[in-house]
Structure formats: C-alpha cells, structure tokens
Structure 1
Amino acid sequence: MTIAGQGEGNLTGSFAGLRVLDFSTTIAGPHCTRMLADMGAEVIKIETAEGETMRTRPPVRNHCSTAFGQLNVGKNSVVLDLKSPAGVEAVRRLIASTDVLVENFRPGVMKRLKLDHDSLRALNSKLIYCSISGYGQTGPSAELPAYAPVIHAASGYEMAHLAYQPGRTRPDYCGIYHADVLTGVYAFGAIGAALHQRQVTGKGQHIDVSMLESMLSLTLNELQWSQFEVKPTQRPMFGPIETSDGYVMVAIASEKTFQSLMQVIGHPEWVSDPRFARYADRRENWMELMEGVEAWSRSISTAQCLAALNAEGVPSSAYRTVRQALADPQVAHRGALTEVEDGGGTFRVLSLPFRMSGAKVSAARKMATLGEHTSAYLRQAGLSDNEIAAFAEEPAVVARR
C-alpha cells in the first residue's frame, strides 16, 4: 500500500482558491507554477497559437510531449496574442481576479507589452508579480539572454564541479538543468512568503528571482573557499569506491559514520590512529584512508558491500540510472509518481516531494489541450461572443525570453 492520499480524505490543496496567471515558458517558471497547481491553485497558462516551445520536446506521441506534460499538468490553457491590443486588454481584465502572476521573459519584455508590475498593480493592488530571469531585473547583466546551461557556467558551478574530478580540465556537457528547477523552487517559496505577507498588509508586491544567485546558493563551500584559503584534500571526500563489479557511493560525514565504516572494513584501530582520529587530520590523509577502504571493497561485490555498510548504518548507495531509481519500492510506497492522460495516451509524472497531513498535494490526472480554456476565461473576463470569435481568427505571437 502506498502512502499517497493517506489521511487526505476530502482535504483541499493549501492554495485552493488562488488564481495564478502563468506567462512563463521552458522550465523554471513552469516548474514553479506546476508546484502551485499541485497544491490546489487555479493556474492559467498563457500560450501562443503555436503553443509553448516545450510542447515539441521529446518524448512526443501524437504531437503530445510528455516533457511538457511533466511541467504543465494541472494548468488551464489560454491562447492570446500579447502583441495585439485585444490580447493585452484580455490580460488586463483577467488581472482583476488574479492573485499571482509568474513570468520569465527577458527583463523589459513585459514592460514593452505594458504588462509589467507597475502597469498592472494599478489594476490590482493585491497582485503578487513574480519575475524569473537569468541575472535579475536590473543591473549590468540584466538584459543578457540566459538559459540554465549558461547560468551553470556563469555561476561558477561547472568549474566547482570540475574541481572534484581529478585529472580533468574540460568542463562537462550539460543535460540536467539544475538552475531551472532550483530557481523555480525559490520562486515558489518567495510566492508563498508574499502571500503570507499579503494577509497582514493587504498588498501585493514584485518578486525578482535570479537564476545566477539561485545557482550560487548551491556552492556553499566554494562560496567561503573563494574568500578564505582552504587546503584541498588529495582526493575528493565524496565519491565512488570500487567494488569487484562496480562502484558504491559512501558518505562519511560524521564521527559516528567514520567509526562505523572502520568497523565494517575491519580496521577499528584506525578510529584512534593519529592519521585519522581528528577530522582535520583525516582530511589531510584522506587519500590514504580511502585507499584502505577500497582495499576492502574491491574484494567483494557491490551487493555485498552495500549489505555490510547498511548493517552498520553507513550512508551508501549503488550508482543507479533514473529508470532504476523510479523502480525503487520506496518510490512506489511514497506514491511519488502520478499517471497522467493526454492526447498521446498515458505517462507518469513526478509528484511534489512532500506530503502534508492537513492538505492535499497531488498532480492532476489529465493534461489540457492547447487553448482548451480560452473561450471560458475570455467570457469570464467580460468579452462578448463576437470578441471571442475574433480571437480565434488572429494568429497569436508571444515574445520569447
């Protein structure tokens, strides 16, 4: 039995009743608004007639992208031409009933469209307006184009990562977009804080989220090492140890885990050895210590190694693929995956990584089609049937980030 839904009953999401207008594209903004949707918010995704660019990203089945679905399930799709006066006017009408707006265009785009924070707060003083950008809304780098791989390089993250790969000088290729996901989560947290503050002040505000600063927050040690000299270890402290048939990650991060590991490898006397007894000396002689650990691990299989480490409470794992991780019984127990239906069939998305005892936290089960909710929202905004019909005849083009 999974724990998904346990205790939820007829609970609603924490953000039920919250209306979000989502102008964001690609990953960072959509990830943020997908989190809001999973927690009960009504998210209205504004798209072009061609649809957001992620709709073409593989895997694609019957013109439906599951990558797009992962980021946008649970949202309502509205097609508008933001370069037309009618499209802008439709947004302005929707703003009156909107709690949160999220956008991740390059700074200046929304102002040119007259949809920036200063223009819209006059229509709704309670509006929380969240802008996500590469470098922030102001400053010498503000208008530079930026996507996650660029920010990885600009933040120092890639060179910091490379420093842990002995003998290598060329930075890695980028295929996992940490900056997008991390920045989306920071935006989500900031929106939650602004909503709480609005309860006290009755006023909204502008949130300015920087991908560069988000990535800098990952390099905790390096941020300090860049200010004060710290002697590096001969071998990185966290990395694979070799077994007879593969590799295992072992994390020795406390005195207890160090002592337990020494028991596992058959060297309990090393706990009091002057080379390793104190943390500072251990760092100094890390290469020698880990060579001793590998003398043990190379003689046994990965399975045997993990069994011995787990028996003594030493944090460790085999190196798994994402496919293998998703097959972990723990993932099933947590109900971490939700099955979603779109025009191409079904696929699974990752749910939010937390559960709440007093609120429903779950992904929607069905994807909206492009523009599915346009007429309903335009009618709600006060447009006549003739005006709505006119929208359907005009090509919609939205400025890209």
Structure 2
Amino acid sequence: MTADQRTGPSRANAFAGLRVLDFSTTIAGPHCTRMLADMGAEVIKIESSDGDTMRNRPPVRDGYSTAFGQLNVGKKSIVLDLKSAEGREAVRRLVTTADVLVENFRPGVMRRLKLDNASLRGLNPKLIYCSISGYGQTGPSAELPAYAPAIHAASGYDLAHLAYQPNRHQPDYCGIYLADVVSGIYAYGAIASALYQRRTTGEGQHIDVSMLESMLSLTLNELQSAQFPVKKQTRPQFGPVETADGYVMIAIASEKSFRSFMQAGGHPELISDPRFAEYHHRREHWAELMDIMETWSRTLTSQQCLAALDRHGVPCSAYRTVAEAMADPQTAHRQAFADVEDGGGTFKVLNQPFRLSGGNPAPTPRVATLGQHTRAVLADAGYSADELAALGVG
C-alpha cells in the first residue's frame, strides 16, 4: 500500500463556504445534512430546548447517544423556540445568510410558523429549501403522520419482499429504516443538483422529497410486474446455501458465474443439462438446481465452501454480523470509519461510501452539545447582548 493509499487525499471541501440551516430531526433529514457537513458545508442544527429525540436513542453513554452522534457529527447546534416571535425572527435573520434549508416536519408546520419556502423566499431568493416528508408536500396523503415502517408498508415494499420468502404469509418486521436513509440520500442529491443549477440561474428553489416515492424506487422489477403481471414468479432467489456448519450466500447472476459455480461444485455436466443450460429454463428449475448443489456444499464447512467458490471467481459471502463487517480488512483499507467524540467518549461512525480523488468526505470529529453554538451563531448574525438575553441565551 502506498503512502497515498494509507492517508488518502485531503478532506473534501466541495461545499465549503455554504451555510445550511438544519431543522430536521430523527433520521432522514439529519442523514442528508450529515452528508453536506462531510463535504465541507457549515451545517447549523436548529433544535428545541428538548433537543432532537435522537439525542436519547441508544446506545447512550453518560447521557450521550452515539446514534445521534453518527447522524449529526460535524454540525453546530443552536436552540431556538420556533413558537415564539423572537425565535422565528432569529430564523429569518439566519435565512438571509443561508444557502440551504432542510426540514422534515409534517407538511403545514413550517407554513403555520411562516417559515415555509414561500414566506422566506423574499428574504433570500437564492435559498434552496428542501422539505422531506412521508408523502410529499401536497396531495390527499400529504399531512398524514409518517415514519419509516408505515412508509415501508404503504409503498408496497413489505409485500414485495414477502413474495420472495418461500412459505411465508405474513410480512416481516423490518427494524432497519430504509425509507429514512434512502430519502436522505435523494435529498442530498437534489440539493447538490439545485446548487449546480443556481450557478446558472442565480436563484434557489423548493425541493420536495417524498419518502413514499423514495421507497418505490427500490422496487424496480416490481414496478414493472405490477403493470405487466407474470403468471408465475420464477426469478432466481439468492438465499442461504447450507454447508456442514452453517450457511453461505452465493449469487449466480450471470452466465459466467453459473458456469464457474458448476465447476466449483464438481458438476460441470449441469452446464449443458437442458434444465439449466439456458437462463429462462434455469429460472424454472432454480430450486432443483440449488438442491443438487447443496449436496456438494453440505460436505464442506462454510470456510471451505467459500474458499472453493473464491478460487473459481463465484460471487459469495459468509453471513456476517455488522461487527464482523466493521472488522473486515477491506473496510480498514478503505478507511471506512472515522473516530469521533462526544461527552461520553470516542466512537466510530461510517464515512460516506464514496471516495473522491480531489478530497474525501469526512466528519469534523466532534459532536456538538445541545445549544453549544447558539450564542456564537446569533452574535455572528448581529445579535446584541440585550437581544441575546431576550432570547434567553446566557
């Protein structure tokens, strides 16, 4: 490994000089703004006196949540009471210096506070205002309450996933909030696009991100089969393949990988078997093919099976825990994790999963305490000592 590979390029600064006002809470919005912060933007997280609810989500050490830290490291934190006239006025002052505003309140909340896009546009025509919500800002479902599990169900994702589970009749529980993460990524991409467009037009715009549609984007094949139903679902299912001491995942997604799998498993004759030689026939007889191959895999330990598959270039993996994935030498090589710190100590957060030759995204290694930057940010906005006192800023 070269010195450049060990240390990598300098920290990304693509968004250096940009100011982001972050009103978002929980996961989707904070995930988006964490990405902006990692790319060099100044992100000012605006919280109530109670703070983002994620500040209390486990794991918590000495009162500090690492779940909150992973989503919000590198941001400044200020406390404002948006229900008060003084708090709303502070937002308006900050908006005049901002490039981006991100919020994920239920549609209508910011309008009632007169902090919506239309109300703020006159203060700063260049402002890019991003709203993330369950169903979008308008329409018959717009104001319904929405959290990721409800969106998973509403989007069809849960039942689409169920269709690939043999002999299952009840949707799975899903504790991983895909809708939040995907929506945050789409919001980040939309903001980057709007910033680029602003270079030409000189004007900002409103971005409306729907969690429902973000989840629909994960059902690529299902969107088409919903329009053009097939008589029988014969798509190959890549699932656990049994070994002598557990299971491995084998993904046979190409003709080359199919042939390699047959060679690795000692069944080269199946390459020309009429049941399997052509892809469309293989789809029809997939379960039969996997039953045959498991007569081979069950004679090997998982590690022996993986070694044989690797020798033949077959895509495969052990089933690992997240802790095991974090310990993979590949993630160390990629510098996939950064050490950050809060009041409870040091912990690791995931870096962004892309690398740029001109500078890598990386978090500023400190998580702000609630309201830590209120005085400094407002003083920079021109607030006098008396005005700060009127806002209750000590």
Range into which the TM-score falls when normalised by the shorter chain: over 0.9
Q: Secondary structure in 2 aligned to 1:392?
A: coil
Could you tell me which residue of structure 2 aligns to residue 321 of structure 1? 321
1:167 maps to amino acid: N
- Matching of residue 363 in structure 1 with residue 339 in structure 2: no
The 5 Å alignment of 1:307-318 reads: 307-318=307-318
- Give 2:32's aligned residue: 32
Partner of 1:202: 202
Aligned to 1:104: 104
Instruction: Note if 1:188 corresponds to 2:172.
Output: no
Answering whether residue 131 of structure 2 is matched by residue 131 of structure 1, we say yes
1:257 aligns with 2:257: yes
Alpha-carbon distance between aligned partners in 2 of 1:389 and 1:5, rounded to the nearest angstrom: 49
Q: Which shifted more, 88-97 or 268-277?
A: 268-277
* Residues 235, 287 of structure 1: 8 Å contact kept: no
Partner of 2:9: 8
- Kept in 1, the 8 Å contact 2:186–2:209? The answer is yes
State the distance in 1 between where 2:289 and 2:239 align: 13
Contact 1:24 1:30 in 2 (8 A): yes
CA RMSD of aligned residues (A): 1.5
Instruction: Tell me which residue corresponds to 1:67.
Output: 67
Separation (CA, whole Å) in 2 of partners of 1:25 and 1:131: 12
CA–CA distance in structure 1, aligned partners of residues 241 and 213 of structure 2: 33
* Structure 2 CA distance for aligned equivalents of residues 134 and 264 of structure 1: 47
1:144-189, CA deviations, whole angstroms, 9 ceiling, x for partnerless residues? 0000000001111111111111111111112100000000000000
Identity of aligned pairs, percent? 70
Q: Secondary structure of the equivalent of 1:346?
A: strand
Aligned to 1:23: 23
2:304 is paired with a residue whose SS is: helix
How many Å apart are 1:360 and its aligned residue?
Answer: 3.4
SS across alignment from 1:146:
coil
Counterpart of 2:170, as a letter, is: R
Would you say the 8 A contact 1:234–1:287 is kept in 2? no
2:83 match = 83
What residue is the counterpart of 1:399 in the other structure?
Answer: none
Name the amino acid aligned to 2:186.
Y
Change (3 A) 1:247 1:235: farther
State the partner residue of 1:230: 230
The 8 Å contact of residues 19 and 97 in structure 1, kept in 2 or not, is answered as yes
Mapping 1:166-315, distance limit 5 Å: 166-233=166-233, 236-315=236-315
Partner of 1:398: none
Aligned partner of 2:388 in structure 1 is: 388
Aligned to 1:337: 337
CA distance, structure 1, for counterparts of residue 215 and residue 370 of structure 2: 32
Deviation at 1:7, TM superposition (A): 4.5
AA partner of residue 186 (structure 1): Y
Aligned length: 393
Instruction: Flag the 1:79–1:88 CA change in 2: closer, same or farther, 3 A.
Output: same
Contact 1:134 1:151 in 2 (8 A): yes
Residue identity in the other structure for 2:9: E
Give 1:114's aligned residue.
Answer: 114
List, as ranges, runs of 4+ consecutive aligned residues in structure 1 with deviation greater than 3 Å: 1-7, 231-236
- Relative to the length of structure 2, the TM-score reads 0.97
The AA in structure 2 aligned to 1:143 is E
Q: CA 1:40–1:352 in structure 2 vs 1: closer, same or farther (change >3 Å)? A: same
Please report how far the alpha carbon of residue 12 of structure 1 lies from its aligned counterpart in structure 2 after TM superposition. 4.5
Q: Is the 8 A contact 2:375 2:393 kept in 1?
A: no
CA change 1:317–1:12 in 2 (3 A) is closer
| SS at 1:101 equivalent | strand
TM-score by length of 1: 0.95
Q: Pick which of 81-90 and 262-271 moved more.
A: 262-271
Mapped contact 1:135–1:210 kept (Cα < 8 A): yes
* Structure 1: gaps spanning 5 or more residues: 395-401
Cα deviation, 1:209-236, whole Å, max 9, x if unaligned, reads: 0000000010111111111122445685
